[in-house]
Amino acid sequence: MAESLSNGECGGSNVLNGKYELGRLLGHGTFAKVYHARNLKSGKSVAMKVVGKEKVLRGGMMEQIKREISVMKMVKHPNIVELHEVLASKSKIYFAMDLVRGGELFAKVAKGRLREDVARTYFQQLISAVDFCHSRGVYHRDLKPENLLLDEFGNLKVSDFGLSAFSEHLKQDGLLHTTCGTPAYVAPEVIGKKGYDGAKADLWSCGVILYVLLAGFLPFQDDNVVAMYKKIYRGDFKCPPWFSTESRRLVTKLLDPNPNTRITIAKLMETSWFKKSVSKKDVEAAADFEETGLKGKQSETLNAFHIISLSEGFDLSPLFEEKKREEKEELRFATTEPASSVISKLEEVAKSMKFLVKKSDSRVRLQGQERGRKGKLSIEAEIFAVTPTFLLVEVKKDGGDTLEYNQFCSKELRPALKDIVWTSPADTPAAA
């Protein structure tokens, strides 16, 4: 379980966790360094983002890191940089991500405007990714060419979800209220600080990106930021003469300063300009991935997100929790007891509470008979084999009220499982 990293933190022939060989430095920022790394088992290259915990805490960046991990776990799509797994030591967090070799889209635009058909292809991929995010209640809030990467085949990949927001972040008025983003790409309603619709704000940024791809420069430019904001407020821009009639019409609808009349993704996708040579493969691939990518694998291999929650040095669980601790809908614990003993314990709890039980070799479902606030309480426990003698058990609420589930866990489940829960050498309880 412990991290194995030879010859220092990074460089040379260092091996992380016995799984990744860390290579050359690819880039660095204020809080992170990115290295080329190779998965020793598969031979596949990845980008390994390394973040120092101390720097994150000192810089008040924990929320941003937490949000980025949570979002990237949710959004699996061909046009979004994929987070493969997260590892941790006591001092660092390691993100194994897609190695996107083609650089930033910004680098292409910096050389001059793109042909309309090329710009359209990138824009179609961008909209496919953004639409997918919005369908999952995720708003990027910092879309710009610098955050759009290209793989070796020229496919666009959206990156950098550090400023993204969930639909759960909406205030009572149903709007987001945090002003963020890059000034030249930010929507007028975001600057206004009166609350904004995350989806509509992302569409404005997409409009600015489309303009930049077609024009080779920004629609709203001024050395004075206040003057630039005034132009953004008014939607004060002009399309160059080489814009086609259709692209001009679409850009104008995207850069509508009134979010209520701004074009939606659904209507954008129906425009004749957007539909030209559009391939539905990316969208279909995303749907296929969503169905098969995560669901079928969990009983075969143990996800790194589970492993790192087992001991104090590897405890990153706060990074993945968007809800308050008292509102958690799952708990995890490790045990050295056989699966049959775990199942027997769960059956005892079910019997004392008059719950119905359905079970298999690695899964147990407990179904309450009394109707609660949100119907009958339903709980599912899944058992993962880390090694033949070391198991991880994940218990989740499958139905019913979260408060009633938490009360059941604290009053019935935890006491009943106390004798079989594994604790670390430091006597730290392993139950999450």
| Model pLDDT, residue 271 | 94
Tell whether 418 is in a known binding site: no
Write the pLDDT tens digit of every residue in 373-385. Answer: 777 889 998 888 7
Q: Which domains does the chain have, with CATH numbers?
A: 15-99 (3.30.200.20), 105-275 (1.10.510.10), 323-417 (3.30.310.80)
> Worst-scoring range by mean pLDDT, 298-302, 349-353, 394-398?
298-302
pLDDT above 90: residue 207: yes
Tens digit of pLDDT for each residue in 42-93? 999 998 888 888 877 776 667 767 767 777 777 778 888 888 888 888 888 8
- Residue in the structure block whose two tokens are 């209640």: 137
The confidence score (pLDDT) of residue 253 equals: 96
| Token pair 């954008």 in the structure block, residue | 268
Q: Which long-range contacts (CB under 8 A, 24 or more apart) does 262-267 make?
A: 262/200, 262/203, 262/204, 263/203, 264/199, 264/203, 265/127, 265/130, 265/131, 265/134, 265/199, 265/203
Q: Is the dihedral of CA 402, 403, 404, 406 positive or negative?
A: positive
Dist. CA 48–CA 16, nearest whole Å: 10
Catalytic residues, by residue number, are 142
Q: At what angle do helices 198-215 and 116-135 cross, to 10 degrees?
A: 170
- Cα 345 to Cα 348: distance, rounded to the nearest angstrom: 5
Say whether pLDDT at 328 is over 70.
no
Looking at residue 185, its pLDDT comes to 84
Residue range 84-113: mean pLDDT, rounded: 85
Rg of the chain over all Cα atoms, to the nearest angstrom: 24
Q: What average pLDDT does range 21-34 have in this prediction?
A: 80
E strand intervals along 108-172? 138-139, 148-150, 156-158, 165-166
CA distance 310 to 66: 18
pTM, full prediction: 0.58
